[in-house]
Amino acid sequence: MENEKKISKKRKIFYIVLSSLALILAVLMIFSNTYIDVENITFKSPDIPKNFDGAKIVLLSDYHNQGENFCDRVIKITEEADPDYIFITGDIVDRIRTDTDKADIFLKKVSEIAPCYLVWGNHDKNVPREDFERLKSSAENYGITILDGTTIRLYKGDEFVSLTGNYYYYDYPPCDADFNIWLNHFPENFEPISEQTKKDGNQMDLMFSGHAHGGIIRLPFVGGVIGHNGLFPDYTSGLCEYDNSYMIVSRGLGNSGNVPRVSSTLHIVICELQREE
């Protein structure tokens, strides 16, 4: 009788621990998939032209076709940041949720805030051709600059920085500015672009990226767990450095298909450029 009581007490404790863990995980998952973390990053460099000192960039990545309420939250945060430029680093649509009307609303609203520049992500390139063409038309209709193996100059007064955007790391025209900014959906292209531009004699200074979704699961002291090419990817979130090049990675705003995040919150980066004297 005494022994039976002990077993049922142990079983009770086991169920309490198990249900507490399940509850913590559920809360963590709801939080990670709904809360938008806004990270402010100040990027300093002596190569930033004087007229760009204080220029503000909002980085929006991996929108993955969210609904209108979510769109309005993103727009409100972006408006409040009062950016000079908005960089959109791919996966605006989602190859499972291929409703380009949602992406159209997002692109329209975001284009009304500040000049927008975008590069494509793997999901954008993998939706049916007619959906991709619709997405491209939306961006063009709203005056968003599509960078796809393209380098342009951004001017403030008579000073400029270069802005390059590409899908494949090796696909880019020469950059001729003192400060070279890059947009590429894939953070794993950071090192090859840095190395190749260094060989060209005008190394990339700052790249903006997404794709990793923060490593989908994030652990304290470890960072992102799941990468597209294996576990524990190198670059999943925030400011990273490699051989005098820097990259800012957004954990993104949506999920691939139905893969939820755990402890990797949605992420908007507000980057302020500062000229270092």
Chain residues in the site for Fe ion (CB under 5 A): 62, 91
Q: Please, which residue, 111 or 250, has the CB nearer to Fe ion?
A: 250
Euclidean distance between CA atoms 237 and 89, whole angstroms: 14
- Dump the DSSP string for 23-86: HHHHHHHHHHHH-EEEEEEEEEETTS-GGGTT-EEEEE----S--HHHHHHHHHHHHHH--SEE
Q: Please, which residue, 62 or 205, has the CB nearer to Fe ion?
A: 62
Within 10 angstroms of residue 4's Cβ, the number of other Cβ atoms is: 8
Q: At closest approach, how far in Å is the CB of 147 from Fe ion?
A: 18
Q: Please, which residue, 161 or 261, has the CB nearer to Fe ion?
A: 261
Euclidean distance between CA atoms 208 and 190, whole angstroms: 9
| Burial bucket for residue 31 (CB in 10 Å: 0-12, 13-18, 19+) | middle
Q: At closest approach, how far in Å is the CB of 93 from Fe ion?
A: 10
Q: At closest approach, how far in Å is the CB of 119 from Fe ion?
A: 12
Q: At closest approach, how far in Å is the CB of 97 from Fe ion?
A: 12
Q: At closest approach, how far in Å is the CB of 144 from Fe ion?
A: 18
Q: At closest approach, how far in Å is the CB of 255 from Fe ion?
A: 8
In this structure, the strands spanning 206-209 and 180-184 are parallel
Secondary structure of residue 152 in the 3-state scheme: strand
Cα–Cα–Cα angle for 205, 210, 216, rounded to 5 degrees: 135
Q: Which of 239, 118, 183 is nearest to 193 (CA)?
A: 183
Q: At closest approach, how far in Å is the CB of 195 from Fe ion?
A: 25
Q: Please, which residue, 91 or 104, has the CB nearer to Fe ion?
A: 91
Q: Please, which residue, 62 or 104, has the CB nearer to Fe ion?
A: 62
CA dist 115 → 104, 120, 139, 142, 251 (Å): 16, 17, 12, 10, 22
Q: Please, which residue, 91 or 205, has the CB nearer to Fe ion?
A: 91
Could you tell me if 74 and 254 are in contact, meaning their C-beta atoms sit under 8 angstroms apart?
A: no
Secondary structure of residue 272 in the 3-state scheme: strand
Q: Please, which residue, 134 or 213, has the CB nearer to Fe ion?
A: 213
